[in-house]
Amino acid sequence: MASPFDLVVLGAGSGGLAAAKRAASYGAKVAIIEGDRVGGTCVIRGCVPKKLLVYGSGFRHSLRDAASYGWEVGPARCDASVLLANVAAEVDRLDLLHRELLAKAGVSLIQGWGRFLDAHTVEVSGGELSGSDETGGVETGGAEPGSTSQQLVGERILIAVGGRPKRPDIAGAELGWISDDLFLQRQLPSRVVIVGAGFIACEFACILRGLGLAVTQLVRGDHLLRGFDRELSAAVQEAMQADGIEIRFAHSPAAISGEPGDLTVTTQSGEQLACGAVILATGRRPFLAGLDLEAAGVAIEGHRIPVSPDQVTNVPHIYAVGDVTDRINLTPVAVDEGRAFADTVYGLKPRRVNHQLVASAVFSDPELASVGLSEEEAIERYGEESIRIHRARFRPMAQALPKRGPRVLLKLVVEGRSDKVLGCHMVGDHAAEIIQMAAIAIGMGATKADFDRTMALHPTVAEEFVTMPS
């Protein structure tokens, strides 16, 4: 017998969780469906475990620099199996925490994979209703389709199933790891080949190099981090290469062969690269497989679900948030989209998400963070003669004694006539923490004069943003 709900949410990732809990807080009867652990890409196989690996890999620099500050440190090596196990344990803890929070919010968690039967009905294969006890009470792991099923009827339905990595169409692609697979490992090989130039590829290259692996990165184009300010991406590239990461531009894989742990990547030019693992960081797509969207009449545009500014699909009572819409695929954006949906529909507090000014970061080594327009985007929009660039590049004080490491780069992109700061960018330690605060000023329309009037906090790296010559 079908169970009626005010809202049925497909996917317990960042956007789905935010929407479900906010809607329940307004009194809605909510069910959320998830066939994997709870938390989505960010918690299970993305932001959280990745950032923990970033912290772990960073100790290589700290230990190396310790002697210049008077610390006697003997030979050190990283036991990657300990780090990977500890990261996995933290992910398990967060999975349980999110289940408990759903139960506390009064949201029914259903374990299984959902598909549309019609515009109001979702069938869940392997589903189990939970939420009647304190912990959520369901086992982790996906269910086999067809093992058991139940039908849920929702007055409204929210699609928040996120995205999945895609493999390139080459021979032996199944032998490579996608980004998800790295978090399932218990040991790491001594040498890896990473395919891709985006933030996931660069982050994993820096993490694995920091853990002591030999890393070769194959890049199809002529530069890293497409979409970011070119000067910043060049600064990251310079530092990665100085740290021993071999980056081969204009190189693409043609095939992967061998056995797990003993692989060979053959490039399109015929070169063969031996390695223990291949990481295929070649993009992501919305995870629409198996949803049977056509049964509900939900339109697809390419590989994504198009929505209005209020997250509505072409079916008025069916909504979508997060990576399935393929707009800005970042966790905080999905969270805000989910909450905006709930506020508008159930809280009677209509609001829309501002997708125009979203800060972003790459947790490479060194870190890159950015908000607003890049130099290239500003020139395209306003014209080169209308743009002023202010920059500072220097060795940070933290490296004054070790006398090593890349210089930091701070950059302001300013519209000449209005003096308005259009973009604020940084490459260096703690860049994301600094740009997060700068994003507030940019969002309020700060000018270069506003930056100049701000008293510096000395000695810091961030003070350079308010002491750059006009």
* 147 and 35 in a common domain: yes
134: pLDDT strictly greater than 90: no
The pLDDT score that the predictor gives to residue 3 is 56
146: pLDDT strictly greater than 70: no
Q: Considering 249, 282, 315, which residue would you say is the last residue of a domain?
A: 282
Of 206, 285, 303, nearest to 247 by C-alpha is 206
* 158 and 25 in a common domain: yes
Entry field: residues in the chain: 470
Q: Residues 43-75: pLDDT tens digits? A: 999 999 999 999 999 999 999 999 999 999 988
* 405 and 371 in a common domain: yes
Question: Which has more confidence, 400 or 132?
Answer: 400
Of 125, 87, 96, nearest to 38 by C-alpha is 96
- Where in the sequence is the domain holding 13, given as residue range(s)? 3-45+84-164+285-345
* 182 and 135 in a common domain: no
* 151 and 125 in a common domain: yes
438-450 burial code (b ≥16 CB/10 A, e <16): bbebbeeebebee
Q: Considering 282, 300, 332, which residue would you say is the last residue of a domain?
A: 282
**Is 458 an active-site residue?**
yes
User: What domain count does the chain have?
Assistant: 3
Cβ proximity of 228 and 374 under 8 Å: yes
Q: What are phi and psi of 156, to 5 degrees?
A: -130, 150
Range with the lowest mean pLDDT among 118-132, 146-160, 316-330?
118-132
Would you place residue 404 in the very low, low, confident or very high pLDDT band (cuts 50, 70, 90)? Answer: confident
* 137 and 112 in a common domain: yes
Which residue in this structure is represented by tokens 């198009």? 306
Q: What does the block give as tokens for 363?
A: 């947790």
Q: What does the DSSP assignment read for 6-66?
A: EEEEE--SHHHHHHHHHHHHTT--EEEEESS-TTHHHHHHSHHHHHHHHHHHHHHHHHHHG
Positive or negative: CA dihedral 159, 164, 167, 172: negative
248: pLDDT strictly greater than 90: yes
26: pLDDT strictly greater than 50: yes
Q: What does the block give as tokens for 447?
A: 């000018």
193-216 burial code (b ≥16 CB/10 A, e <16): bbbbbbbbbbbbbbbbbbbebbbb
* 241 and 111 in a common domain: no
What does the radius of gyration of the chain's CA atoms come to, in whole angstroms?
24
Taking residue 259's Cβ as centre, other Cβ atoms within 10 Å add up to 7
Residue 61 lies in a domain: no
* 172 and 157 in a common domain: no
Of 358, 339, 370, nearest to 435 by C-alpha is 370
Query: What is the DSSP-derived secondary structure letter of residue 208?
Result: H
User: Please, what is the average pLDDT of the chain?
Assistant: 94
137: pLDDT strictly greater than 70: no
- Residue 389's beta-bridge partner residues? 413
143: pLDDT strictly greater than 50: no
Tell me the C-alpha distance between 424 and 359, whole Å.
Answer: 9
The pLDDT score that the predictor gives to residue 174 is 97
Q: 70: burial class by Cβ within 10 Å (0-12, 13-18, 19+)?
A: exposed
pTM beyond 0.75 = yes
* 216 and 108 in a common domain: no
CB-based contacts of 138, cutoff 8 Å, min separation 6? 99, 109, 111, 128, 130
Tell me the C-alpha distance between 436 and 360, whole Å.
Answer: 9
Q: What does the block give as tokens for 416?
A: 């000449």
The pLDDT score that the predictor gives to residue 138 is 30
Q: What are phi and psi of 151, to 5 degrees?
A: -115, 135
Q: What are phi and psi of 96, to 5 degrees?
A: -65, -40
My answer on whether omega of the bond before 459 falls inside 30° of 0, hence cis, is yes
132: pLDDT strictly greater than 80: no
Q: Choosing from 98, 303, 317, 458, which is the catalytic residue?
A: 458
Average pLDDT on 325-345 reads: 97
The pLDDT score that the predictor gives to residue 149 is 84
Q: Residues 339-381: pLDDT tens digits? A: 999 999 999 999 999 999 999 999 999 999 999 999 999 999 9
Q: What does the block give as tokens for 130?
A: 């939970």
CATH code for the domain of 387: 3.30.390.30
140: pLDDT strictly greater than 50: no
Would you place residue 2 in the very low, low, confident or very high pLDDT band (cuts 50, 70, 90)? Answer: low
